[in-house]
Every structure is written in C-alpha cells, then in structure tokens.
C-alpha cells in the first residue's frame, strides 16, 4: 500500500486557507488523484466549497449524538455503529470530505476535535484506502496541543502557511513557524512554504517577503 502525501494548511481565521486548500484538492482530483480533505476548524466550513450546500455531520457532533458526553475512540457508540458515510462525504470530483467540528460552547477543547477525528478515521479504515493526498485544513490563530497535532505527531509531511500582509495574520504565521521549529527535529512536520493571499490593493507584499526571508 502506497503512502499518501499529507499536507497541512495553517493560517489565521478568515485568511483564505480553506479556499486555497479546497482549490488544490479539486485540481488534484481533476488530475486523477484520490484526495481526502479533513477540516480542522470548529466552524466546520473548511470543505464547503467542495460539497456545495450539502450539510455534513461533524465527527464530534456524531460522537455526542451517539455517546452523549463521552469522547471514546470506538467505531460503536452507545450500541449504535458509526457508519463511514455518516462522516465522510464525497464532494467535487470524488474528494473525500470530513469535518472534525468542535465542542459545545464553553465546554472542552476545540483542538481535541482533530485528535478524535483522526483516530476515529483510522479505526474506520479511511487511511487504509488508496489515497494519494491527505489535506488538513487547520485553524492557526492558536497553535494549542490539538491544533498542533499535525505538527508534533508528523501527520503532515509538509505545512504551508497562508498569510496576507495583515499584522495579525503574520503574527499567527510566526507562531505556527515556532511550533514547526519545536517539533521538526523530533519527526514533526516540516515547513513547505509561505502562501501569500492578497487581501486588497493596499496589501504590502514587501512585509510578507521580509517575513519569509527572516523565517528562512
């Protein structure tokens, strides 16, 4: 069984990483590759461009529905079997779409959704399919333990950071780079590059170029 290329896209919320990630997923699928895209944002809208108006159940929503408040990593929940098609949706050109989701307001850790989703997908055999590319679309405002999972556990081969010249976007990008540096020497993910997403006519590419040079 071939090993799929695993790529994570990080960036400040609203920076356009989901648009970029879903466009790449669509392009790779059109080229004949089998793609899995996992949305790792509590808003559960990362794969929206690939599935149109179709609403999908998030992994955490399904677990809450079938297990109550427990978050155990089993295929069966409360005596009911979790079916693969309940959490995996076939989107544009057959791209497999999954949304990890998040906890209820003021309860739990949003980053834990990534851990739960990945482990459940592995138990259900999604990672055993003949995949070519796995995309993680990860919220990057806070690189906590859950959101940092693709970094520290080496789930992703490469991490691409999406940013604009906005100071908060660059601040988030810098924090992500610090997380990558922390785990890169311990079989963590490597930085693949900085993706500049122009936000408007007043955006200053010079700031992003300077940031990229300093990151090295």
What pLDDT shows up at residue 71? 45
Least confident of 39-48, 97-106, 147-156: 147-156
Instruction: State the average pLDDT over residues 43-48.
Output: 90
pTM: 0.87
43 is catalytic: yes
Check pLDDT > 80 for residue 20. Answer: yes
128 is catalytic: no
Bigger pLDDT: 150 vs 120 = 120
pLDDT in tens, 159-187: 999 999 999 999 999 988 988 888 777 77
80 is catalytic: no
12 is catalytic: yes
Strand partners, 5: 133
* Dihedral angle sign, alpha carbons of residues 23, 28, 29, 31: positive
Question: Domain 5-215 carries which CATH code?
Answer: 3.40.50.300
One of 41, 61, 137, 141 is an active-site residue; which one?
A: 141
**Is the distance from CB of 211 to CB of 195 less than 8 angstroms?**
no
pLDDT in tens, 194-212: 999 987 777 888 999 999 9
Can you tell me the distance from the alpha carbon of 107 to that of 39, in angstroms, rounded to the nearest whole number? 20
What pLDDT shows up at residue 125? 85
What pLDDT shows up at residue 109? 65
What pLDDT shows up at residue 184? 73
Domain boundaries, the chain: 5-215
pLDDT in tens, 61-112: 888 777 654 444 445 444 456 788 888 999 999 999 999 887 666 566 666 6
What pLDDT shows up at residue 145? 61
Alpha-helical regions (H) of the chain? 17-30, 48-51, 59-67, 84-87, 112-123, 149-152, 167-184, 205-215
What pLDDT shows up at residue 149? 65
Mean pLDDT over the full length of the chain: 83
* Dihedral angle sign, alpha carbons of residues 82, 128, 25, 90: negative
């Amino acid at each position: 069984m071939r090993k799929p290329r695993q790529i994570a896209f990080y960036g400040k919320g609203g920076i356009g990483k989901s648009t970029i990630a879903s466009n790449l997923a669509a392009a790779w699928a059109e080229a004949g590759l089998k793609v899995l895209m996992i949305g790792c944002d509590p808003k559960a809208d990362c794969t929206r461009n690939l599935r149109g108006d179709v609403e999908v159940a998030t992994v955490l929503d399904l677990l809450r529905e079938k297990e109550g408040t427990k978050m155990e990593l089993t295929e069966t929940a409360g005596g009911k079997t979790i079916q693969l098609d309940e959490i995996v949706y076939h989107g544009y050109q057959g791209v497999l779409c999954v949304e990890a989701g998040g906890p209820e307001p003021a309860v739990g850790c949003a980053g834990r959704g990534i851990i739960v989703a990945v482990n459940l997908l592995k138990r259900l055999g999604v990672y055993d399919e003949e995949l070519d590319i796995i995309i993680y679309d990860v919220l990057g405002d806070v690189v906590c333990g859950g959101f940092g999972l693709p970094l520290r556990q080496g789930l992703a081969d490469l991490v691409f950071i999406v940013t604009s010249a906005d100071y908060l976007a660059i601040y988030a990008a810098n924090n992500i780079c610090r997380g990558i540096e922390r785990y890169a020497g311990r079989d963590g993910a490597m930085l693949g590059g900085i993706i500049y997403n122009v936000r408007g006519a007043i955006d200053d590419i010079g700031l992003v170029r300077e940031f990229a040079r300093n990151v090295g």
